[in-house]
């Protein structure tokens, strides 16, 4: 039996998404900047994808910028917004649990003379609104806080965060990394006070190598790529039409009967948490129900190293993660797990199980059976 529980790293492309992508590559392959029919057909795919994605967020299509994925979206939101607004100040606020595609651009900005304050989180992975308010200075220009944590699924109170920010200074921009949230939550940037929002197609059953950045039309931002002036001059270069069209199709499918899809995911998450509680020496780091994202369960396994357990499960056909796939080739202690107070001896004994719309409870049962079989052996070996 093959069980794929690493959907927060990437998801399998849905068949209608694949079919549309192939059609665009093989039949409607024109350059969207060309003036002939083939070009106009390609341009229409981009327009339709922008309308679909904007519709899921209740924003204007012109506020959707297509990128190569979540990392580019985060880099542009941080670096180019900071550079465009540096006359207003040089202070940025973020958290200690961000993805590498946020904290590495922030490190770059610090090298350029910007000052960054990193907020702490509680045992649930949530920031303190009081700490945020106290961190805001007259020179603060940007706050960047992830919506859903990619390791434990903690959901940050973005609407409350925005209210704190805008009350102190309406000019401060609020960026949200929604790469693990888009497709899993109902997101309304205008209502929630979000100025910039990043997403990546391969996290919601679209293809890799394409994403988007929502930019409120009032935001001042510099281009990341210069050239022929595509996408209103904000990101030059011939657009990835097959990827963009496929991402739009994936968004349309995921947000159709969205409530039912999320209810099913949440049911899987809670079932996994319940089944994990049957195993001795397991600490679940994710909250049940609506207290955390519906697709992620983090658990620590006392006496078993995460990498060894991961590969033991792989040998049984179960695919999970020991952390963010984007940084798995550069092992480091998880800032998220340290931030929520996971015991030091469990930091290297933690796995992430993340679900997609095709997963089942039967797959969870198989995974639990394999864990019950493997853990006693691995623990004896590790003590050994």
- Residues marked active site are found at 326
Half-sphere exposure of 312 (CA within 13 A, CB side): 21
How many helices (H) and strands (E) the chain has is answered by 13, 12
Task: Tell me which DSSP letter residue 323 carries.
Answer: S
Beta bridge partners of 296: 354
Contact 382, 303 (CB under 8 A): yes
How many Å apart are CA 43 and CA 54, to the nearest integer? 17
**Tokens coding 193:** 């006070």
Residue labelled with tokens 């990341």: 224
**Tokens coding 103:** 């904290």
Beta bridge partners of 314: none
State whether residue 95 is helix, strand or coil.
Answer: strand
Helix %, strand %, coil % of the chain (to 5)? 45, 15, 40
Residue labelled with tokens 């490190």: 107
Q: Compute, in degrees rounded to 10, the torsion defined by CA atoms 132, 98, 202, 81.
A: 60
How many Å apart are CA 3 and CA 317, to the nearest integer? 6
Between the alpha carbon of residue 245 and those of residues 25, 47, 115, 157, 285, the distances in Å are 10, 9, 39, 31, 37
Contact 191, 197 (CB under 8 A): no
> Who contacts 169 (Cβ-Cβ below 8 Å, separation ≥6)?
136, 138, 140
| CA 31 to mean position of chain CA atoms | 30
- Where are any strands of DSSP class E within 145-293? 173-177, 196-200, 211-215, 282-284
Residue labelled with tokens 């030059």: 236
For residue 67, which phi and psi values (nearest 5 degrees)? Answer: -130, -175
Pairing of the two strands 91-95 and 140-144: parallel
């Amino acid at each position: 039996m093959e069980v794929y529980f690493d959907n927060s790293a990437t998801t399998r492309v849905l068949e209608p998404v694949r079919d549309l992508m192939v059609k665009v590559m093989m039949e409607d392959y024109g350059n969207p900047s060309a003036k002939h029919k083939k070009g106009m057909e390609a341009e229409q795919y981009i327009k339709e994808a922008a309308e679909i994605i904007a519709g899921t967020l209740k924003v204007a299509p012109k506020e959707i910028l297509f990128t190569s994925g979540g990392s580019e979206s985060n880099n542009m939101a941080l670096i180019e917004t900071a550079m465009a607004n540096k006359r207003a100040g040089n202070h940025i606020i973020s958290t200690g649990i961000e993805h590498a595609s946020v904290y590495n651009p922030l490190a770059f900005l610090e090298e350029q003379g910007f000052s960054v304050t990193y907020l702490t989180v509680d045992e649930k992975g949530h920031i303190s609104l009081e700490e945020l308010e106290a961190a805001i200075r007259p020179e603060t220009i940007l706050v960047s806080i992830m919506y859903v944590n990619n390791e434990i699924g903690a959901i940050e109170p973005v609407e409350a965060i925005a209210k704190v920010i805008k009350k102190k200074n309406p000019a401060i921009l609020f960026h949200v990394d929604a790469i693990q949230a888009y497709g899993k939550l109902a997101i309304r940037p205008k209502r929630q006070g979000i100025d910039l929002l990043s997403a990546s197609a391969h996290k919601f059953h679209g293809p890799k190598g394409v994403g988007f950045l929502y930019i409120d039309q009032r935001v001042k931002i510099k281009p990341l790529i210069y050239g022929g002036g595509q996408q209103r001059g904000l990101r030059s270069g011939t657009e990835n039409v097959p990827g963009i069209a496929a991402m739009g199709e994936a968004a349309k499918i995921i947000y159709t009967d969205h409530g039912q899809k999320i209810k099913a995911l949440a049911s899987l998450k809670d079932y996994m948490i319940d089944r994990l509680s049957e195993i001795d020496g397991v600490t679940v780091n994710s909250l049940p129900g609506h207290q955390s994202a519906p697709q992620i369960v983090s658990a620590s396994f006392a006496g078993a190293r995460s990498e060894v357990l991961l590969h033991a499960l792989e040998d049984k056909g179960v695919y999970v993660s020991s952390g963010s796939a984007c940084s798995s080739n550069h092992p480091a202690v998880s800032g998220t797990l340290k931030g929520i107070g996971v015991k030091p001896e469990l930091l290297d004994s933690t796995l992430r199980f993340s679900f997609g719309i095709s997963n089942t409870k039967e797959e969870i049962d198989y995974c639990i059976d394999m864990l019950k079989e493997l853990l006693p052996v691995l623990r004896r070996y590790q003590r050994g």
